Structure 1
Amino acid sequence: MTAQHLPITRCWQASLALEFALRGDTTRIVGNSHFGPLRVLKPFYPEPTCCHTYLIHPPGGLVLGDELQIEAKVQSGAHALITTPSAGKVYGVDNATEKQQQMVKLAVAEQACLEWLPQETIVFGGANTLLQTQAHLNGDSAKLALWDIVCFGRPANDLTFDTGQCIQSIHIYRNGIPLLIERNVVDGGSALQKGHWGLDGANSMGTFVLTVTTVREQREQWISKLQQRFNGRWGITQKGELCIVRYLGDSACECRLGFEFLWHGLRAELNGKAAVSPRIWAT
């Protein structure tokens, strides 16, 4: 094979593995290994016992062949909140055959709590991306709050998602038993995007999952509050031990603000503590 016929592969792989443990009355980062441009600069403590952690990805987005692998383990009794300082981006590539991938694996031990609350992911037209999130809860008292927000295209700049593909999956297990298995495949310009039975023309969708138990009256009250304060369509269901919140609309920002509003209202039921928003959300 001559040089001009060799396949050209561009990729920027990065990985980050974090481990949190209780030291005295405070959760500390006891394991922090990284490869490539993905890391944590420092932990923050706006609340006494919970470790707030910001994931930093200097390139600011994924292009052809890029792969991010993120792992977080929370030991027994510890409490960690992980977020990002800005939206993640997946850029489009014409006629892409390789995928841009982000794989997140979370593990929460008995009597521990993890809140995985990243800002939204913007998927540009022409992207070919795989977004995977797995959470493994161990024992009967591991607690989880997890949201995933995806914006297709960049509506503010009239950039639509009319080509490409986005595969998004969320898997949550307790003691190896599935609590939620979800997989969405969105093709740019497809009937799923436009049909009433799919995204109905909306450019943003979000899923928020908490290990709390709600009753029907409570869910109806929260839906009413969300509809009064935020645009878009909202839904809340109870699936076993999981409270699952859905958003469909035209603003990833509205989605995140609505999720944050609900998180403030339900966090005491999650782990007995009042919510303290990460400072980075206000910048």
Structure 2
Amino acid sequence: MNIPYAVVADVAGQQSDKIARSWSAAIELELLKGPGRTDIRHVLHKGPLRIQRPFYPEGECCHVYLLHPPGGMVPGDELQVAIDLGTGAEALLTTPSAGKAYKSDKQKTAQLQGITAHISSDACLEWLPQETIIFDGAEAELRNDFHLSGNAKLLAWDIVVLGRRASGESFDAGRCLQRFTILRDGRPLLNERTLWEGGSDMLRANWGMANRWVSGSLFATLEADRATLDVLREGLAAQPYFDKCQAEWGLSQRRDVFMARYLGNSPEHCRKGFEYLWGQLRPLLNGREACRPRIWNT
């Protein structure tokens, strides 16, 4: 597996001043099923992307915490995560804190964050990161590409926060492009592209964000029948943070993918709702009860 790296250069072929201000990073992980547990067999990193030592709070499944000490992306930054999950391996990956895309420069230099995962047959990946905050004026692109083989399983979510409302900052300029792709044996199960442009009508209109600034999507490669969807909806509606006046939730099944959507104003409520759904879906996905990563308690 090779991680693509990008270099920014000026017309004269000299490195531009963007290089000095940007800090690209990449990490490549290979996880294989070993005796009694999934082991990290290979790690290759470039720049400030690291992992802590793996944790095994539930036996075979490997919990991995992905660390990015700078905490956010400035113009020109590129963060690439590549994951290769071998046959029968089980892994849960999360992050300790929210990601950030800071305001870009006058040239509108892009900030890229991408994950590419290859999941072999009989393997299961859970990708459960914290939210990504898009600052006013950012030029962010968020890519999520998952390649499944055979009966591989996946549960993944992505939460995007537009602006910093707690600091009085809305999302009036810049853009955020989010891509989410799931393939099984090369056949597309999901291919989504969402573009948020700062100050656009889409952020205010009822057909768009309806003046809300948090968007969350959860996907799982399992089949939930109508009865299961009804139970999940009822359970979600009973949670103390569920407020249908302040947020909209949607649960659906399309082809072989379960989908959950959140549109509201609270990343915390979105995370809690997704965690509830994850806890309900996990036994159907990989036969395991929910086991919260310890870092979520800090």
TM tier relative to shorter chain: over 0.9
The CA deviation at 1:159 is 1.4
What is the identity, as a one-letter code, of the residue corresponding to 1:279? Answer: R
From 228, 247, 250, give the equivalent of 2:265: 250
- 1: CA distance, partners of 2:283 / 2:189: 22
Say yes or no: does 1:33 pair with 2:44: yes
SS in 1 for 2:52: strand
Question: Normalising by the residue count of structure 2, what TM-score does the alignment of the two structures yield?
Answer: 0.91
The equivalent of 2:5 in structure 1 is none
1:96 and 1:128 in contact (8 A); partners too = no
| Matched residue, 1:184 | 194
Q: What secondary structure is seen at the aligned counterpart in 2 of 1:43?
A: coil
Query: Equivalents in 1 of 2:200, 2:267: separation in Å?
Result: 20
CA contact (8 A) 1:75 1:109 kept: yes
Please tell me whether residue 236 in structure 1 is matched to residue 238 in structure 2: no
Letter in 2 for 1:75: G
Aligned-residue CA RMSD (Å): 1.5
Deviations 1:108-158 (Å, cap 9, x if unpaired)? 00000000000100001000011000000001x100000000001112222
Q: C-alpha offsets along residues 21-46 of structure 1, whole Å, 9 cap, x if unaligned?
A: 11101001011110000011211111
1:265 lines up with 2:276 in the alignment: no
**Structure 1 residues 196-235: aligned runs within 5 Å:** 196-229=206-239, 230-231=242-243, 232-235=247-250
Q: Can you give the 5+ residue segments of structure 1 that lack an aligned partner in the other structure?
A: none
**Do the aligned residues in 1 keep the contact of 2:104 with 2:110 (CA within 8 Å)?**
no
Of stretches 33-42 and 93-102 in structure 1, the one that deviates more from structure 2 is 93-102
Look up the match of 1:160.
170
Tell me, in whole angstroms, the C-alpha distance in 1 between the residues paired with 2:66 and 2:17: 30
Residues 96/161 of structure 1: CA separation in 2 closer, same or farther (3 Å cut): farther
Matched residues in 2 for 1:202 and 1:143: separation?
32
* Conserved 8 A contact 1:95-1:126: no
> TM-score scaled by structure 1?
0.96
Question: 1:8 is matched with which residue?
Answer: 17
SS, match of residue 44 in structure 1: coil
* Identity percentage of aligned residues: 45
Pick from 145, 150, 153: which aligns with 2:160?
A: 150
Q: Could you list the per-position Cα deviations for residues 178-237 of structure 1 after superposition, in whole angstroms to 9, with x for gaps in the alignment?
A: 000000000011111110000111110011001111112321231232233223211011
**Is the CA contact (8 Å cut-off) linking 2:162 and 2:214 kept in structure 1?**
yes
Question: 1:28 corresponds to which letter in structure 2?
Answer: D
Q: What runs of 5+ residues in structure 2 fail to find an aligned partner?
A: 1-9
